[in-house]
Structure formats: C-alpha cells, structure tokens
Structure 1
Amino acid sequence: MSETQAESPRRRPSLLRFNPKVFAVAVLASLLLGALLGWLADSTGAGWLVTTLDTIGSTFTKLLTFTVLPLIFTAIVLGITSLRSMGGGRAAARLGGKTAMWFAITSLISVLIGIGVAGVLRPGQGVDISPDQQRVNDVNEMSSGSWLDLIQGLVPEHLVGAFAEGETLQVVFVSLLVGAAAYSLGDKAKPFVEFNQAVFEIIQRVLGWIIRLAPLGTLGLIGNAVATYGNEFFAPLLKLTGATYLGCALVLFGVYPLLLWFVARVSPVKFFGKAWTVLQFAFVSRSSGASLPLSRQAAVNLGVDRSYASFAVPLATTTKMDGCAAVYPAVGSIFIANLFGFEMGIAQYLTIVAVAVFGAIATAGVTGWFTMLTLTVGALDFPPAMIATGIAVAYAVDPIMDMMRTMTNVAGQIAVPTVVARGEGILDDEVLKAPSSPLLINGDEEADQPEERRDGSEEEPALAKA
C-alpha cells in the first residue's frame, strides 16, 4: 500500500443511500399494488386481507412515530448549540428572526390560497353523511380545549412525562430550553452536546432502516385506506380532498418556486431535483418528523450552511407546516361551515388567517393538522357538536389528504432556510450548482468535514465568515 493510500481516510458506508429513480418506481408500484389489493379486499369481503394491510400500514407508522420525539429533541438541541459557529449571539438572533419572519410570510400566503380555493370549490356543499356516533364522541373529547389550555400545556409536569405521553409540543419547548442552556454554558456543556450527537446519530441509523421499508408501508397504508373507505372516500368527499390537494399544489409548485427564484435566486428545477426524494418520502410517511434527516440533508445539498440547516430545519419540522397549519385549516373550516349551511363573514375569514399565521407553533409533528383545524374552528366559535361532526366526517379521507399536506410541509421546511441562507450570504453556490446526488442520512464521514479548496486547504465554514 502506498503512503498516499495509507494517509487517505477510509470512507465509511453511508447509512442510507437513496437512488431517486429506484425509490420513485418502488413507491409508485406500491401505491398501485396497494390500491388494487384494497379494492379486491373491499369487493370480495376478504377480512383477512384488510387485517393484513392494516397491520402492515399501522406497523410502519408506529415504527416511524417512535423515532420522532428523540429525533426532534436531539436535533433542536444540536441545532441551537451549533449556532456558536455563526459568529455570536447577534448573528444567531438575526438568523432566527429572519427565519421566523419567512415562516409567517409563507403561512400568510398559504392560508389565503386555502381560503381562495375553498371559496371557489366550496367543499361540503351537497354532502350528507351521518358519521359513526362513537367517532363523533371521540372527536368531541379531543376537541375540547382553548388557547389558554394550549399555553398551559406547553410546560410538562416532568421531563419523562413529555416523552412518555407523546406530547410533541412539550418536547419542543423542553428542547428549546435545554438547547439554550447548553448554548449559554459553552464548553461546560460539551459532554452533554456530544451525548446528544451520539443519540441523534443512533436514531438516524434506526430511522434509516425503517425508511427502507417505505414501499411496503405504502402498500399497507394505501390498501387499507381503499379497503376501509371505499366509495365514502372517492365520492362524497371528493371536493374536500380535491380542494386540499389543489391548495397545497399551488403552494408547493407555485409559491415556493417563485420565492426561490425571485428572492433566493435558486432555480426551481434545481430545488426539486435535489429535494424530490425527501418530498416523495414525506408523501408516503405522512410525517415531517420522520422526514427530518432527509430534509436537513436536502437543504445542505442545496448549499445551505450545515450549521444553520441543523438549526432551521428541525425547528421548521415542528412549527413550519403550510399544508397542515395553513391550507388545510382554511379548507377544512370552510368545509365544515358549508356542511352545516353556516355563512361566514369577513371577521371569520380574518380569524382563519390570524390562527394560521400566529398558531403555527401549536402544530406538532404527525398530528399537527388536528390541532390547527380544532383551534381554527374553535376560534370561529362553531358549536361543539358542529365541530365534532365536521371533523369526524373529514376523518374519512384524512389519510389521503395528509400525504399532500405533509409533502407541502416538508417542501416549505427546506425552501425557507434556503431563502434565509441566501439573504445572509451563507448559501454555497458551488454546492447548489453541483449535480444532484443520492440523499444521505448520517452519511459519509467526509460529508461532515469542512469542504476542501481546490488547492487542498480546508474551506472556512460560511457561517464563521458571516
């Protein structure tokens, strides 16, 4: 072995290397096969097949869900502590402020699009469905609460309880608090930060194994949805589903590309070329939290500084949900109003806008749509029975709508950090213009090292220069 070979570092195989074309074909095949199996189960009354599809889909969902809370906690803590490389507290505060500003701007645009689409398509008119009473009771129980309850619920009684009870919003609050404390302690908190880094990488490794099962999970989820809902899914609530998809599509393929092109000077073709794999996975998994590692890497591949991406993307994963927290609450609220013949005025529409812009922090991972829709219709002062029945009816088609909502969420969680990075001068155009490559989760060791100049010297991190 030559001396040069001995000195060169050995590349560690990546945890998960996606081939976008193979992944797309596998997902598409799973969608078609799952729909076919679901139709067969529904038409033949094969209960065993329905049970099998439900077991496959629910198991995949549970596997994704149990990784979300530790992933969010460690990612936010590491993201906040990584802000030290940004050149001090002022730079970090400036970046955080601009990130929040663009979150609010895109949420405002998204909710207005949702209102406009629902106003034209008028979902809910002509629909006459009597939902299962037990479902109505369950939704009524979940819908109880107010803004005061939400604020009081931010602080957990004890740390373990927030994780054990799956309180995502409380975990986010604790993560921000702990991350800020670790940031303020500096080197004293280094062992704690290193521990979180190790846990973060372990969770990513587990999640990488789970993601490989995405085509199988898709087959089960789609098959069970078709077998369970049948005509109830495809016919009476077609307008609600169509309005949700159209509103999200306008944001996903209209708002974000225009924002990237005119503000960030990033080609939409380049953006979707490097982010399409994670958008496909978001569509299948219906989880922004499970998509987090891929979303972060997609932002880095678009040229966003790694330190800023480690902060902004995890934060966006829990608070930036234009599909679930802006488009859908608008469409869903108007759907419920039309369902009961309730005529809304300008005050009600302004309330929907306000809740979407200022209530995004209330969204929480996998179930953010429910929180935001409940908050919105509650703020509109709809009667409890009307809220419960309306949401129960929407439940029938929620799994399919949630796919497009989550895809839109994740696109925004990548697009906004890209826009902010350009404005702060921390977007690497050389990385942006590089050919698209398979996404990596916890990838090669070299990926986490500073970029090397052409002359072999290490490039100074962009955030440090900023």
Structure 2
Amino acid sequence: MSTAPEATSSPSVLARIRRTPFWVQIVAGLVLGVGLGYLARAADISWLATTLETIGKTFVQLLKLAVPPLVFTAIVVSVANLRGVTNAARLAGRTLLWFLITSLIAVAIGLGLGLLTDPGRGSGLSTEGLKAPKGGGTWVDFLTGIFPTNIVTAFTEVNVLQIVFMAVVVGAAVIKLGSKAEPVLRFSESVLELTQTALWWVIRLSPLGTLGLIGKSVAKYGWDLLKPFATLTVDIYAGCALVLFVVYSLLLKFAGGLNPLNFYKGAWPAIQLAFVSRSSVGTLPVTRRVTERLGVPSEYASFAVPFGATTKMDGCAAIYPSIAAIFVAQVYNIDLGIRDYLLIAFVSVIGSAATAGLTGAIVMLTLTLSTLGLPLEGVGLLLAIDPILDMMRTATNVAGQALVPIIVAAREGIIDREAYDNPTGDLLDGPAAFPAQAAEGAAPAAA
C-alpha cells in the first residue's frame, strides 16, 4: 500500500528573512540603499529620495526614543549594583584609567595621521556663507551643562550628559539608603528590562534603517561629495581601523594576556550594529551582552558598559576631532603649533562625555574648535560628510566600550577564561540577545 508523500509547506518570506544571518541582512540593506539612492539621484525621482530619507529618519528617531529611560535606568542600576562587587572602587578607578589610556592612544594616532596627510590642503572647499552652529561648544557651556535646571527638560530634550549626572546621584543615593531604596532599584530594573526589550525590536529593523540612511546620503549628495573630503574620509577610516584592529589587539594580547581573535568573534554583533545605527547608547544592551558573554562578571559589566557608552568615545571624541581640527585649520589657512596639538589631546580625553553616545559628534567638534580658537563655521563643512564618517567612528567607540571591561577583568583575575576562549555566535541571530529576550523564548518563525 503506497502512501502519498507528506505535504510540506515552504517557509514564508518573513521566516526566511528571520533565519538569514543578521550581518547578511545589514549588507543587503546597505547594497540596496546605495542602489536606490543612486537611482533616485540619477533619475531625479523625488518621491523615492523622500521615502529613503523618511525611513532613515524614523529609524534614528526610534533609537533616540529609547535613550532617556535606557541611560537613566542602566546607570542607576549599574551604580547601585557596585555595592555587591568586591573592590568596587578599585574596579571603577581602573576602568576610568583605561578609558584615559586608550583615548590618549587614539588621539595620538589621529594627530599623527592628520599631520602626515594634510587632509585640508588642496580641498578647494569654499567657506563663504557658512554659519557657526547654534548652541554650546565652549568649556563653560560644557561644564555648566552637566547640571540640569529642570529634570523634565533634561529628558524631553534628551540631554544625555544631564541624565547621566542625575542617574549617578540617584544610584549613589540608593546605595546610601540601602533597603529603604530597594523599591526604587526594583522599579529601575523593570523599566530597564522593558526598554531593552522594546529597543531589541528597533534593532531588528536595522537593515531597513541602513537602507534609508545610506540611500538618503547617496540620493542627496551623490559620489561627488567624497572628492573634496577624500583625504579626511580615508584618515578617519584608517585611524579608526588602526585603533579598532591593531591597538585593541595589542592591548588585549599584552595588557590582558588574551587572544584578540576571540574578542572580535564575541564582540562583532555589537560592532556591526554600532556601524549601522551610529549610536553607542542605542547599541548599549548588545554591547553589555557581548561583554558578559566574553567572561566579564555581569555586576561589573553593568557598571562599566553604560558608563563607557556615555563617556568613552575613541572614534568620535579622539580620532575624529583631532583630524577634523587639522582639516578645518588647513581649509582656513591657519597654522597650528605644539600647544594646539596638546590642547586637542586634552580636550579629547576630558571632554569625551560631551558626545553623549548619540549619533554624530558635532558638540565635541565645536568644543575642540572653540578651545583652539578655530572658526566654528568650519563645522558646516563637515555636516554633509558626517553620516559616512560617523559609522566607522561609532563602531570604534563600541569596540572600545567592550574592550576596557574585558582588559580590567582580565588584569584583576575576575574574567571567565573559558567563556572568553569560546565566544558564542551572532547574538543578533538568536533569541537571547538580551536577558529579557531569553525569558520570552522568542523562537524563529515557524515554517
């Protein structure tokens, strides 16, 4: 007796997409975005250009929407959790020290590349009609801007620096009050889990966001945009690559006694997401997760990674402002001396919190230019090219934010060597990107 073959249904389109590795989805969005952007520009299809811009803008807005509750609760919880960490003060001090060391190395590389290549010479850029950016950019603005005058305004205007300040104060108060503040800590932990879950849904839209952001840039500016900024662009990408792959590898090997390849295997999901989203804060949950997967104790990672996401910016606050300052000075035919280069290094290390982990590094650039006495109108020269530069800068930022806790944990003898030596696969492909997601048991779509 013969039986008919069992009927099988082919996977749905959505199921196939969800089963596709996340990096493939990102690359597909990148390629498709470039193609559609070029088509919109070449054929003058205004509705397509508008659509691409809207997609990209919506994606960034969704990321920014999660920033205030994510930053506030993450830092409150991380500071409060330090009470359960042995040698918490020592770990915090070592973390800040390594933030300083890596920033100094990054700014030295940026200055070296800028001096060797002269990125602003012969660019042919016109400075006529440029306007200085509105708002802060001086040291006074930066220092006084740390302290909020209105709690609500700090959140509604997404002033990350002020949110960080308030979160640190609340976290310290939770430690001081002990059991009396336990309800506040539990509430913060719940809000943090909710925010991370919602942010995960946004992160899954990264391929679509990539399509819109890249497509909009190509449609609006075209390839001619790169010509006057060619040397600057190469400098930024080369400098970030040197820090990301060479400096970090050497630090892992000789300062931490670790295999660098395992770091890149484990941290790659966060690095690739940072490249696309251009937001250290938006990538924070994934950065923390990969750091823990690489053997850093969760109690320490919950402190170091959120602080790094808001204060450690080797790409945006070290490499970029050093090269960009040289670029602006050369465009305006202004000579810089050794004092100016030392000021750039000082500003890059001390003022890195001004970048606040959001897309772009305009505040940090205006702070650097104003300190050096360079024309703030030079910021306008770099606005068009900024999204292209920001992708590599942010990837470098996030890699450094994962690197420092790993090195400190290794040097303090608290890293799980077995976990580090056996990094898991792409966190963005699995159901457990964040702890909340694991609890949900989000499985791939059924065929």
TM-score (norm 1): 0.87
Counterpart position of 1:259: 251
Counterpart position of 1:236: 228
**What is the CA-CA distance between 1:367 and the residue it aligns to?**
4.8
CA gap of 1:39–1:250, structure 2 versus 1, over 3 A, is: same
CA gap of 1:322–1:266, structure 2 versus 1, over 3 A, is: same
Counterpart position of 1:109: 105
Root-mean-square deviation over aligned CA pairs? 1.8
**What is the CA-CA distance between 1:441 and the residue it aligns to?**
3.3
Counterpart position of 2:270: 278
CA gap of 1:446–1:68, structure 2 versus 1, over 3 A, is: closer
CA gap of 1:252–1:321, structure 2 versus 1, over 3 A, is: same
User: In 2, Cα distance between the equivalents of 1:281 and 1:259?
Assistant: 23
- Asked if 1:180 corresponds to 2:176, the answer is no
Q: Which moved more, 1:359-368 or 1:402-411?
A: 359-368
- Asked if 1:407 corresponds to 2:388, the answer is no
Counterpart position of 2:242: 250
User: In 2, Cα distance between the equivalents of 1:401 and 1:223?
Assistant: 15
Contact 1:336–1:387 (CA under 8 A) maintained in structure 2: no
Q: Secondary structure at the match of 2:306?
A: helix
CA gap of 1:109–1:365, structure 2 versus 1, over 3 A, is: same
Q: Deviations over 1:275-334 (max 9, x none)?
A: 111111000000000000000001001100000000000000000000000000001000
User: In 2, Cα distance between the equivalents of 1:435 and 1:417?
Assistant: 16
Q: Which runs of 5+ in 1 are unaligned?
A: 1-17, 448-466
**What is the CA-CA distance between 1:131 and the residue it aligns to?**
6.1
**What is the CA-CA distance between 1:445 and the residue it aligns to?**
8.5
Q: Which moved more, 1:107-116 or 1:430-439?
A: 430-439
Q: Secondary structure at the match of 2:35?
A: helix
Counterpart among 339, 343, 351 of residue 343 in structure 2: 351
**What is the CA-CA distance between 1:444 and the residue it aligns to?**
6.5
Contact 2:289–2:433 (CA under 8 A) maintained in structure 1: yes
User: In 1, Cα distance between the equivalents of 2:208 and 2:438?
Assistant: 32
Counterpart position of 1:92: 88
| 1:92-171 alignment, distance < 5 Å | 92-130=88-126, 133=129, 136-137=130-131, 139-142=132-135, 144-171=136-163
Counterpart among 372, 376, 379 of residue 387 in structure 1: 376
Question: AA paired with 2:134?
Answer: E
Counterpart among 407, 411, 427 of residue 415 in structure 2: 427
User: In 2, Cα distance between the equivalents of 1:445 and 1:246?
Assistant: 36
Contact 1:362–1:368 (CA under 8 A) maintained in structure 2: no
Contact 1:64–1:207 (CA under 8 A) maintained in structure 2: yes
CA gap of 1:53–1:132, structure 2 versus 1, over 3 A, is: farther
Q: Deviations over 1:369-403 (max 9, x none)?
A: 21211111111112xxx321x21111111001000
Q: Which moved more, 1:279-288 or 1:359-368?
A: 359-368
User: In 2, Cα distance between the equivalents of 1:31 and 1:352?
Assistant: 34
Counterpart position of 1:32: 31
Sequence identity percentage: 48
| 1:49-88 alignment, distance < 5 Å | 49-87=48-86
**What is the CA-CA distance between 1:351 and the residue it aligns to?**
0.8
**What is the CA-CA distance between 1:20 and the residue it aligns to?**
10
Q: How many residues align structurally?
A: 419
User: In 2, Cα distance between the equivalents of 1:184 and 1:368?
Assistant: 36
| 1:290-305 alignment, distance < 5 Å | 290-305=282-297
TM-score (norm 2): 0.90
**What is the CA-CA distance between 1:130 and the residue it aligns to?**
3.3
- Asked if 1:47 corresponds to 2:52, the answer is no
User: In 2, Cα distance between the equivalents of 1:345 and 1:24?
Assistant: 44
Runs of 4 or more off by more than 3 Å in structure 1? 18-21, 130-133, 444-447
Q: Which runs of 5+ in 2 are unaligned?
A: 1-16, 440-447
User: In 2, Cα distance between the equivalents of 1:446 and 1:21?
Assistant: 19
User: In 2, Cα distance between the equivalents of 1:347 and 1:47?
Assistant: 49
Counterpart position of 1:454: none
Contact 2:274–2:395 (CA under 8 A) maintained in structure 1: yes
User: In 2, Cα distance between the equivalents of 1:41 and 1:418?
Assistant: 45
Question: AA paired with 2:133?
Answer: N
